[in-house]
Structure 1
Amino acid sequence: MAFVVTSLCDGCKYADCVTVCPADCFHEGETMLYINPETCTECGACEPECPVAAIFHEDSVPDECQEFIQINEEMAAKLPSIVTKKPPLAQ
């Protein structure tokens, strides 16, 4: 199990969560961030840092966002890691 970034991140890409992640498990896409479930330690530090409440534990992902469990896994494998905060898309 891991934490999952859902569609609520799409278009804003706040990176507050990245700076508190001890496992460097975030990956940056063009319009949103993704969590690598292979490296996520389930510490939960990222969840309260997300200003748009886009991060959920895999067991708590809303029904309408269930596909993001697989999307995070697939996209994290393809995209570069992000370990520093960058300006968000939505300001």
Structure 2
Amino acid sequence: MTYVVTDNCIRCKYTDCVEVCPVDCFYEGENMLVINPDECIDCGVCEPECPAEAISPDTEPGLDKWLELNAEYAAKWPNLTAKKDELPEAKEMDGVAGKLEQFFSAEPGSGD
């Protein structure tokens, strides 16, 4: 098992989860974070820290595409190990439907 970041992170990118991760397995894209499933130790401390509730265990139904997306982009994006400010539009974008199709960016973030 691992944890995955899902669509509600897109255009919110709260980083409270990064601050508590004991193994630094978060990677930063332009407008979302992902978890490297090979580095995640399944401790679960990140899940309750996410204000957008965008982190779930991969054992929940329907998360296969998110596991694939997290693995793919963790290999491409820079590691993030410290908390940053959320995106300016985070509050307005929290809970918006269809974020993956409408707003996902494959561009990397700046990392640490």
TM-score by length of 1: 0.93
Q: Structure 1: where are the runs of 5+ without partners? A: none
Q: Deviations over 1:14-51 (max 9, x none)?
A: 00000000010000000100000010000000000000
What's the C-alpha RMSD, in Å, of the aligned pairs?
1.1
> How many aligned residue pairs are there?
89
SS at match of 1:37: coil
Map of 1:43 onto structure 2 = 43
Aligned-residue identity in percent:
53
How far apart, in 1, do the equivalents of 2:78 and 2:44 lie?
21
**Aligned-pair CA distance for 1:80:** 0.6
**Would you say 1:69 and 2:76 are equivalent positions?**
no
SS at match of 1:4: strand
* Stretches of 4+ aligned residues off by more than 4 angstroms: none
Q: Structure 2: where are the runs of 5+ without partners? A: 92-112
The one-letter amino acid paired with 2:84 is K
The one-letter amino acid paired with 1:57 is P
TM-score by length of 2: 0.76
